[in-house]
Amino acid sequence: MKLENTAENREIANRYRQLLKVSKWSREKGDVQIIRKAFVMAVDAHSSMRRKSGEPYIYHPIAVARIVAEEIGLGTTAIVCALLHDVVEDTDITLEEIQQAFDPKVANIIDGLTKISGVYDTSSPQAENFRKMLLTMADDVRVILIKLCDRLHNMRTLEHMSDRGQLKIASETSFIYAPLAHRLGLYAIKTELEDLSLKYTQPALYQDLKYKLNASKEQRNRYIRSFIKPIKVELDELGADYEIKGRPKSIHSIYTKMVNKKLEFEDVYDLFAIRIILDSEPEDEKMDCWNVYSIITSIFKPNPERMRDWISIPKSNGYESLHSTVMGPKGQWVEVQIRSTRMDAIAEKGYAAHWKYKDKKNANSSNNLDNWLTQIREILEDQDGTALDFLDEFKMNLYAKEVFAFTPKGMLRKLPKGATALDFAFDIHSEVGAKCLGAKVNGKLVPLSYEIKNGDQIEILTSAKQKPNKDWLNFVKTSKAKNKIKQSLKDEKRVVAALGKEALGRKMKNTGFPYTVDNLNKLVAFFKTEDELELTYQIGAGTLDKEKIKLSEILVETTKVHKPGTERLDPSKLTSKTSRELLLGDATIDMDYTFANCCNPIPGDQVVGFITVGGEVKIHQTACKNAQNLMSKYGYRIIKARWAGQGNIEEEFEAALEIRGIDSLGLVGKVTDIVSKQLKVNMKSISFESLDGTFLGKLMLQVTDKQHLEQLMEELKGIDEYIKVKRIDLENIPKLTS
């Protein structure tokens, strides 16, 4: 390709040479040819296009490629992709052509970039686009890195946009791109994106702060010089190889601090910040940082509340640094950051710098980012909510501060700040989370909602019988835990619905209505449930008002099912009181029966009859140990028994519950309140004992059936996350002493 020798073309060539210059360090043999090929293709494709500023369009891809190489430090593949990032979207060139001309990796990244080219907008399916972007990112993080560079260049040149366009792009930037840059450890880019976005969303305020910063600049510099002076003396004495930078706070960070802490510009205290960068050998760098720390804190008093050690435990985006805020001259707080050149490069350039340092000894920090990408992949794969839900959660994750905790074996886990013991359980493994019963923190039993503090050692107690419940959603913070719990609740709903379906089917059969789609639709419409699943779930869970299930009034009788040889039940009788709760044998046997005292079955329990020597029938729960013992020995005396139907028994049955948990104030009150007030259950006795912070309660109640009892148990479990409720045999209830 030969460009005409116009001023504009000379400028294009000039910018291209600059790009080659800044990317030199990463290039290998043959790379220049590939970059040139991409450049030629892009120039050609965009030749007739101009930017809003009137400049040739090609300036933009070249600029993006330059940011990619210079500010993030990515190599040839990314540079090629940056040059071509807009061609498939905006020109005649197809992805196939790119596939033919370049490496498959290039085509893959460009495909990702093209898919996400739509801007993010909460009112449109663009949130879905964003999700796609993250999915692609999980494939190859360079997609998002190039996207960030693209956005940065657009923000730098935003003045040519219309006001509306400016606002839209600027808010989108602060909403999603700056947090992403933050999460990827690209602090310099994050800060610039934030400042630029503030410049367009709040122009007056931005200009005001900028003016004030400028006006106070000389004064601040003077102060910093006086602060640094004694430090330099000591560092020189030590023979350290170092650099000290005064670090002006970004306009955005000053603004955030003013808003969050309701302070005036003059009061934002760590306006003063310096950074000390040590040129250390990798094996000495930590020690050197701590040495400098001790020098500084011996000169100035540190604020112990504001000490941050990200050297021993780097942030999961790879950030390593030692921060301290000390009281400088004239009673001013000064933030001091201490780090090595390697740490500084990682802090500024993030991901790419990890690659550069990856082979070196100290680069375990890049694993953190890989872990994070794995996590994103997991979240994305699990997601079944809306794209917007996902976005909210994901965004929360981006800015969340971190806490770290240890497993009993001393493995370090990092979680977002505010994460609970239950989050920790899910972080270890989703099965551990699902079966989590409790936790011990530093040896002490804590509720699952316990908020993790830095350095906690957490042991998760599990039980095979445990399963996630709805309340858990109230105290987990991580997306992983939330998604797993939601999934499990959904599965459980299906199980309950299956029971409900069975019960409904039985009832319909008994009352002579066929279980048809048509009839089901009528029921769904009558009960105003969302669908069949919801209807059967509510029946299964016993939350549907039983009084209302009068099938004969809802359904039109069609063909009646008549079971030969059985006594046909009159539908109207089912809702009236019948004298018999149980049907024995094939429902034609007329024998007296009593309920066994050992297990006290209630309607809904699986039951079995056992003919006693006296010729009477005793009804046991199928699960009753006595019954099982008898059945194994005297099988011939077993008689089939089933409950006559649901909703037709007005008699009350006795049942006993045992409640265990962590003792807390007002607990007994809560239990009795639920039992007697909320659910209007008759309580025959209650006993509570407490021991070492745990309690054991036993209740004897009168309930109408199993559903009734289970509903009550669910409510009781809802008191707090730590409560365990189980049904016990009446025998275990202590006799009331009069």
List, by residue number, the catalytic residues: 89-90
Which chain residues interact with Mn ion by CB under 5 A? 86, 150
Q: Is 713 exposed, middle or buried (0-12, 13-18, 19+ CB in 10 A)?
A: middle
Half-sphere exposure of 515 (CA within 13 A, CB side): 12
Sign of CA dihedral 633, 634, 635, 639: negative
Identity of the residue, 86 or 427, whose beta carbon is nearer to Mn ion in the bound complex? 86
Identity of the residue, 150 or 194, whose beta carbon is nearer to Mn ion in the bound complex? 150
Q: Closest approach of Cβ 198 to Mn ion, in Å?
A: 22
Q: Count Cβ atoms below 10 Å from residue 26 Cβ, excluding itself.
A: 17
Distance from C-alpha of 499 to C-alpha of 108, rounded to nearest angstrom: 48
135 in helix, strand or coil?
helix
Contacts of 208 (CB under 8 A, 6+ apart): none
Distance from C-alpha of 641 to C-alpha of 605, rounded to nearest angstrom: 11
Distance from C-alpha of 73 to C-alpha of 145, rounded to nearest angstrom: 10
Q: Is 684 exposed, middle or buried (0-12, 13-18, 19+ CB in 10 A)?
A: middle
Distance from C-alpha of 296 to C-alpha of 231, rounded to nearest angstrom: 6
Identity of the residue, 51 or 684, whose beta carbon is nearer to Mn ion in the bound complex? 51
In what helix (H) or strand (E) does residue 656 lie, and over which residues does it extend?
A: strand 653-662
Identity of the residue, 86 or 344, whose beta carbon is nearer to Mn ion in the bound complex? 86
Identity of the residue, 86 or 423, whose beta carbon is nearer to Mn ion in the bound complex? 86
Q: Which residue is nearest to Mn ion (CB)?
A: 150
| DSSP string across 212-233 | HHHHTHHHHHHHHHHHHHHHHH
Identity of the residue, 74 or 481, whose beta carbon is nearer to Mn ion in the bound complex? 74
Identity of the residue, 150 or 456, whose beta carbon is nearer to Mn ion in the bound complex? 150
Q: Closest approach of Cβ 137 to Mn ion, in Å?
A: 17
Q: Closest approach of Cβ 61 to Mn ion, in Å?
A: 7
Q: Closest approach of Cβ 85 to Mn ion, in Å?
A: 6
Q: Closest approach of Cβ 143 to Mn ion, in Å?
A: 13
Identity of the residue, 82 or 184, whose beta carbon is nearer to Mn ion in the bound complex? 82
Q: How distant is the alpha carbon of residue 636 from its chain centre? A: 57
Sign of CA dihedral 363, 369, 375, 377: negative
Per DSSP bridges, beta strands 456-462 and 402-406 are parallel
Per DSSP bridges, beta strands 638-643 and 582-584 are antiparallel
In what helix (H) or strand (E) does residue 163 lie, and over which residues does it extend?
A: helix 163-172
Q: Closest approach of Cβ 349 to Mn ion, in Å?
A: 21
Q: Is 534 exposed, middle or buried (0-12, 13-18, 19+ CB in 10 A)?
A: middle
Q: Which amino acid is at 3?
A: L
Identity of the residue, 150 or 172, whose beta carbon is nearer to Mn ion in the bound complex? 150
Q: Closest approach of Cβ 60 to Mn ion, in Å?
A: 6
Instruction: Tell me which long-range contacts 305-312 makes (C-beta under 8 A, separation of at least 24).
Output: 306/335, 311/286, 311/339, 311/343, 312/286
- What backbone torsions phi and psi does residue 540 show, to the nearest 5 degrees? -60, -40
Distance from C-alpha of 198 to C-alpha of 170, rounded to nearest angstrom: 8
Q: Closest approach of Cβ 459 to Mn ion, in Å?
A: 51
Contacts of 157 (CB under 8 A, 6+ apart): 51, 53, 60
Q: Closest approach of Cβ 201 to Mn ion, in Å?
A: 21
Identity of the residue, 166 or 280, whose beta carbon is nearer to Mn ion in the bound complex? 166
Distance from C-alpha of 423 to C-alpha of 210, rounded to nearest angstrom: 42
Bridge partners of residue 643, in order along the sequence? 582
**With contact defined as beta carbons under 8 Å apart, do 368 and 289 qualify?**
no
Identity of the residue, 87 or 268, whose beta carbon is nearer to Mn ion in the bound complex? 87
Q: Closest approach of Cβ 150 to Mn ion, in Å?
A: 4
Token pair in block for residue 596 = 């066994």
Per DSSP bridges, beta strands 593-595 and 617-621 are parallel
**With contact defined as beta carbons under 8 Å apart, do 213 and 265 qualify?**
no
Report which of 386, 268, 397 is spatially closest to residue 334, judged by C-alpha positions: 268
Distance from C-alpha of 131 to C-alpha of 120, rounded to nearest angstrom: 10
Report which of 190, 117, 201 is spatially closest to residue 165, judged by C-alpha positions: 201
Farthest CA pair distance, the chain: 116
Identity of the residue, 88 or 617, whose beta carbon is nearer to Mn ion in the bound complex? 88
Q: Closest approach of Cβ 151 to Mn ion, in Å?
A: 8
**With contact defined as beta carbons under 8 Å apart, do 412 and 685 qualify?**
no
Q: Closest approach of Cβ 64 to Mn ion, in Å?
A: 6
Identity of the residue, 155 or 712, whose beta carbon is nearer to Mn ion in the bound complex? 155
Distance from C-alpha of 21 to C-alpha of 10, rounded to nearest angstrom: 16
Distance from C-alpha of 245 to C-alpha of 260, rounded to nearest angstrom: 27
Q: Closest approach of Cβ 89 to Mn ion, in Å?
A: 8
